[in-house]
Each structure stands twice: as C-alpha cells, then as structure tokens.
Structure 1
Amino acid sequence: MSRIGKKPVELPSGVSASLNGQTVEVKGPKGTRSFTATDDVTITMDGNTVTVAPRGTSKRARQQWGMTRSMIENLGVGVSTGFKKELEIQGVGYRAAIQGNILKLSLGYSHEVNFEVPAGVTVACPKQTEITVEGIDQQLVGQVAANIREWRRPEPYKGKGIRYKGEFIFRKEGKKK
C-alpha cells in the first residue's frame, strides 16, 4: 500500500484546481500548470482537496498512485511558492554573470561558457560566486541547475567547481611525498 498515495492533497490558499478527465489543471499566483495522469488511477476533487486512488491491485496501478499524488502536490507548490535551487562556485577566478537571457560562466577554460537560460526558468546571480535558479516546474528547475553544474563538477582534491548550496564534497588526500 502506498503511504504517500493515501494522503489527500490540500491545495494552498490562492490556488484553484480543475479536473477534466485524467488531467488536473492548477492555477495560482505564479502561473498555470497541468498534469495528465494514467488510466491506472482515479482522481477526485472535493473543494480544495484532491484525492487519488488506484484502479485495481496491479503493480503499475500502485506505482502510479503515489507518483500521481506527488505530482499533483508539486503542481500546487509550484504555482503558489515556486521552486528554487541555489548553486555556489568555488575556485580561483571562477565566476558567473547574467546578461539578458545568457549566463556567462568563467570556469577556468580557455573560453567563457555561454549557457542559454530556457523559457520557464529565471536565473539570477546575486554574487559572482552564487547562482539561483527559480521556476514553477520542479523538474525543469532541477534539470537546469544540473546542466549548469555539469560544466564544472566539484573535484575531490581541492573542491573546485560548481556545487549545490550545502552539498558535501568528499575530499581526497592527494599525493604524498
């Protein structure tokens, strides 16, 4: 039994949802998002509460039950407060700057890296060594942050690179003489 799927989804205040077949559309102050569930689950709405139940006892129905409930909850959180990922840059001469829709990264390569920010996400650089990725789509925010981090992952010897804020990097000792 899904422990997550059993809990009903309480939508935050200021957020409205509509159900059309298997598609849930959520509107809030930050925008509109929708999710289409598979036919393995039944979705019901009662005021500002959304309930998900499996159709049958198959393994796929039970898998979709908890996943659908989590997706609907993430829609509500996204359109009300949004999602945010923070990255920090460590390394001598490593820095970031935003110019219009392009994030310019100096990461020790022979050239500057120009990262084009996709639609639906806002990227800000409060400091030269900090990058903030925000948006209403949790998957898109996480993917953009991972794509930025991929340009220079933190290395284990000196810890230089782009890391998530608060991420622990296991450090290695290096050569001994």
Structure 2
Amino acid sequence: MSEKTLDKLIATLKTEAIDAADNEAKQIVEKAQAKAQKIVDGAESKSKELLHHAEKEAEATLNKGEAALKQAARDLTVSVRNELLKLLKAALEREVETNFTPELMEKAVLKVIENVGSGIALQLPETMEAQLAKKIQKRLQDSDNLDSVTKDAHLLNGFTVTKTDQGWSYQISPEEVAELLNAHLSPKWVQILKNESNT
C-alpha cells in the first residue's frame, strides 16, 4: 500500500471518526436537550399544580374566615340582643316594683275579689301597712265573697288569693306582674331589635 493510499485511508478514518463523534455528540446533546425540556415541562406542570393547589387552599381559608366572621357577627348580635333584653327586663321589674303602691294593691285586691266571686281566702303580707290592711278588710267585709283575710310572714309584697272551694291559689306580686309583662313584651322587643339591626 502506498503512502498516499495510507494517508487517504487515515484521512477517511479520521473523517468517519469525527463524523461518528459529531453524530454521537449531536445525539447526546439532543437527548440532553429532550431530557432538559422534559424536566422543564415537568417543573412547569408541577409549578402550575402547586399554584392551583395554593389558590384552592387560599380560597378555602378565605371562605372559612368569612364564615367564621359571619358566625361571630351572628353570635355578637344574639349576645347583645340578650343583654338588652336583660336590661329591659330589669328596668321593667324596677318600674313595676316602684308602681306597686299600697293604693294599687288595694285596687287590685278589690278587683280580683270582685272577679273571682265567693269562697275566697285572702293572704296579705305581714309587713303591709295596718291602715291599708284595715281599709281592705273593711271594704271586703261588705262583700259576702270573702271567707277570710290573713297575714303571711313569708309573703313580702303582693297578695295571695285562694279559691277555697276549688283548691286553686294565685299569688299576685310585683315579680309575678313583671314576669307576665316581660313574657308579653319580650317578643315585641326582639322584633324591634331585629328591625333595628336590619336597617
């Protein structure tokens, strides 16, 4: 083999080796680029997924916060309404207590005896002014509806009417009157408070 042919063969081998190395390098680069693109695509997909998940969590937290605030507002409204009702009841009790005068008691006793009829026993507080008790007794003695009038040490204010022939008894006191008025007025007060809170 001649030197020229040998040089040519070496040059051809070099060229083929370089071309093969270039092809292999190109394939390696293409594979690396494909792998890098796959990693980038995966990272973008994961990033979108994480972002979507974070948005969902943020929205859920916001909704829970809004619901908690609404519940707290309802609780506060109910609490304030209940406190106002307690204050109104206390004011009503004081007002009834103040206006439950001996004169009112005299009128109430006479009206109850008149409406209930005969067979009645009346109990008055032991602390009741003697003059008023005598006045009530005198006015009731003219009536044949009353069986007896007694004083009760346990009765602090008000009076008790007992229908002896039927076995029932009612105590009429500032507390009882206030309780009845409160039961009647509370629903109206609640409605007023609801209307005020809606405006």
Task: Report TM bin, short chain.
Answer: under 0.3
Higher helix share: 2
TM-score by length of 2: 0.23
Higher strand share: 1
- Looking at CA atoms only, which structure, 1 or 2, has the larger radius of gyration? 2
